[in-house]
Structure 1
């Protein structure tokens, strides 16, 4: 593989200071650095910005741009609200529940824990409306191998039919049978 890791992932924010404070308070991220320029280096466009970098652990960096001269942030109306999100891995359930408690205490809505069988998650939003997920793994090595083995065929079948594929339905069969 030629890739070593993700260097950074960048999103837009409405207020740089509010964004940094949120990620420091709730996710214990370190504010690594900031860059501010009058022109976009890759395009040469005149557009003053503040570019923030936060340490998401293990060499992962989450970045944000505040763009005060650009139109207000909007969301793609053709993409469901739950699709685009950032998922962070946490050690265990206790860690996720501690963050959930802190968020809810401060009035933030939190969904979950949600059972995905191979991992459990909580979901919430940052001050800019970005959907965030904290996930902790619960899968066995055998379950992950089984999913890995069937993935190419699932993709091939999906590509042909664009219909739900049942190759990994065992993930939720037990959960759904409890509801009936």
Structure 2
């Protein structure tokens, strides 16, 4: 109870919203479902592309993103096994139902002039890789059945990562948690690593940390969509 059940959306930065939307709709075949000014952020555009029934792929475009240059090996890996800074996304993998769908996707990508590697059989899945706009390393994968934990947690790698047997048991089967109905008090903002506000956001960030849950909701709730619903004919 209270556990995540899937990914709601993945948000990626872009300096060219139109190019990303063109790639993911015309080349990949996803549907645009939302494009609007990002809530609470001036001059920033937010887009959502439908990714299955419960998940979306999202892009965010802010004015200053046009002047921030990607750095290979820091912000971007360059290829599917390349290194990036800790906490950065190394690559994005999208699921397709079957191997036949994987080959169909390869045909779509190649028909638009994109070089594609794969499919490659990883046993737990079959994957192929392509470089999307703005250096995004994109994988498409298909899998049959669930992963066998006994076969896919390598004791040598567990030891390499410094994970004890007790820790491993907790990673495989996390301890249960009993909800308190949202009554756990807010800890101090410095208790754990937290949001970092820089530049013009710094004073606003300092004030943000002092707000109550109710004040945050009152300031940022946006229950109405940007375009009124058309009356039915």
**Common topology (TM > 0.5):** yes
**Post-superposition shift, 1:25?**
1.8
Equivalent residue in structure 2 for 1:133, among 134, 139, 144: 139
Structure 2 spans left out of the alignment, 5+ residues: 82-89, 164-233
Query: Higher strand share goes to which structure?
Result: 1
Structure 1 spans left out of the alignment, 5+ residues: 41-46, 162-180
2: distance between equivalents of 1:60 and 1:96?
19
RMSD: 2.6
Q: Select the structure of larger CA radius of gyration.
A: 2
CA contact (8 A) 1:37 1:50 kept: yes
Give the secondary-structure state (helix, strand or coil) at the position aligned to 2:106: helix
Aligned ranges 1:1-180 → 2 under 5 Å: 1-37=2-38, 40=41, 47-70=42-65, 71-75=67-71, 77-78=73-74, 80-81=77-78, 82-83=80-81, 84-138=90-144, 144-147=148-151, 150=153, 153=155, 156-160=158-162
Q: CA deviation digits over 1:108-148, x for unaligned, max 9?
A: 1111111211211111122222111110114x65x624236
Equivalent pairs, count: 151
Give the secondary-structure state (helix, strand or coil) at the position aligned to 2:161: helix
1: distance between equivalents of 2:57 and 2:107?
23
**Using a 3 Å threshold, how does the CA distance of structure 1 residues 51 and 37 change in structure 2: closer, same or farther?**
closer
Give the secondary-structure state (helix, strand or coil) at the position aligned to 1:28: coil
**Post-superposition shift, 1:105?**
2.1
1: distance between equivalents of 2:77 and 2:68?
20
Give the secondary-structure state (helix, strand or coil) at the position aligned to 2:24: helix
**Post-superposition shift, 1:155?**
5.5
2: distance between equivalents of 1:29 and 1:144?
31
**Post-superposition shift, 1:101?**
1.5
2: distance between equivalents of 1:73 and 1:20?
20
CA contact (8 A) 2:127 2:141 kept: yes
2: distance between equivalents of 1:154 and 1:51?
43
2: distance between equivalents of 1:37 and 1:156?
41
Give the secondary-structure state (helix, strand or coil) at the position aligned to 1:48: coil
2: distance between equivalents of 1:8 and 1:56?
8
